[in-house]
Amino acid sequence: MASKGMLTAMEKCCVWVLMVCGLLPFRLNASENRFVLSTAHYWGNMAGTVVYAFTAPWLFWVPVSRVVHPSTPLNYYMMVIQFLFMYIVVIMSRVKAVANREKLRQLLNALLALREQTLQGSPDASFAPTLVRKLFVKLIVFDLGMLLLCASFFRTFLDLKLSLFYSFMGFLNLLQVSSMNVAINFLLFVLYNAINIYTLINARCKDLVYGSKATKETVRLYLMHTETTLIVQSIVEVVSMPILLLSIFYFFIIVFSIFYTYTSVVQDLQTGSLNALRNVINPISFFISEVAQVYFLVSASAMFTGYAQKIISCVSLYTGRISDGPADQAVLSSDERKRKKKNKQTNKQTNNFPTLNNVCSIYFTDRIAYY
């Protein structure tokens, strides 16, 4: 297997975080660029899930029970709701990952195989590092950095005599919150890889459409495009429930952060405290972290859909399909529709688009030759 398509150092770091957080109960064989089953990783994941199930409530309650600012009953109730969301999402993500271990491994390996196959299609083809850097920055800045800032400015821990111990407990508590975002990071890893695959396939397909290359190559690229879509769809089905709960949680926690900041400022103004600025750093940092999660999730999904639709314009021009319904108009540009109509007669005369039998034959022959 050629070296093109190997995971970069930043991607391996993201994969390592996913394995440590229990969402990937298998290991990455770096030399083969494939995920392989591992007994140690499996039982380590099981043990980590059990330990988390028993220790998470205690790790959460010890620091939260000593919060004295802002002191309102509603804040305590909302903190309990926050913990319940976090606890359910983390446990559910780990359990679903273990239950679908073999399925996830096969799907990820299939995605890596498509990644390699796409890059090998052209000697100059390469993935843009922008998306990988974007995911890495998210991990460092928003998942870890902002939560470290939250722990550093938790007023209660700074004022207590046992501030170092309780600050450490607060840091562990915030790590629990960060681990809840692992499902988002996993989905981003999959979507960003699919977007890179789509980008190369669309570019290659467009070259073939406007060139004079054989029909089979265009069909092969379209089938690779379809397989990528099916892989992403299958992976999303596995993590759909944790993602749904996280979406509800983000709405709740963003509103809670605003309310927490408001009550903190009001109490500081009423008591004449000089620490008002320091007290709002914690909720504002947490607010920024959670808003960033929503932004990355929405932007990645929109980008994935946009790149997935771009192949329609290329294939439509090649097959001579000239229907200009609302769906086509949303995808095809005016220039592409003009070229499509201009080539209508040529496409009708040649009529060289493969039948379903030929498509299946090309696909299976290509996959057998590849593997």
pLDDT for 213 equals 55
| Least confident residue range of 67-81, 181-195, 234-248 | 67-81
- Say whether 69 sits in a helix, a strand or coil: coil
pLDDT above 90 as % of the chain: 18
Q: Are 97 and 108 in contact (CB under 8 A)?
A: no
Q: Cis ω on the peptide bond leading into residue 70 (within 30° of 0)? A: yes
Tens-place pLDDT, residues 312-324: 776 666 555 444 4
**Mean predicted confidence (pLDDT) in 125-139:** 85
**Mean predicted confidence (pLDDT) in 272-295:** 81
**Mean predicted confidence (pLDDT) in 165-176:** 68
More confident residue, 214 or 267: 267
* C-alpha 146, offset from chain centre: 19
Q: Are 357 and 219 in contact (CB under 8 A)?
A: no
Mean pLDDT for the chain overall: 76
Q: Residues near 152 by Cβ (< 8 Å), separated by ≥ 6?
A: 167
Tell which residue, 6, 159, 207, 185, has the closest CA to residue 93: 185
Tens-place pLDDT, residues 205-252: 777 665 555 567 777 888 888 899 999 999 999 999 989 888 888 888
Q: Are 69 and 62 in contact (CB under 8 A)?
A: no
**Mean predicted confidence (pLDDT) in 161-165:** 59
Rounded-to-integer distance, Cα 64 and Cα 271, Å: 22
Q: Tell me the two tokens of residue 166.
A: 């309780």
Question: CA torsion, points 273, 275, 276, 278, in degrees to nearest 10?
Answer: -170
* pLDDT band at residue 191 under the 50/70/90 scheme: very high
* pLDDT band at residue 332 under the 50/70/90 scheme: very low
Q: Tell me the two tokens of residue 220.
A: 């092969």
More confident residue, 206 or 9: 9
DSSP state letter for 38: -
Rounded-to-integer distance, Cα 19 and Cα 186, Å: 10
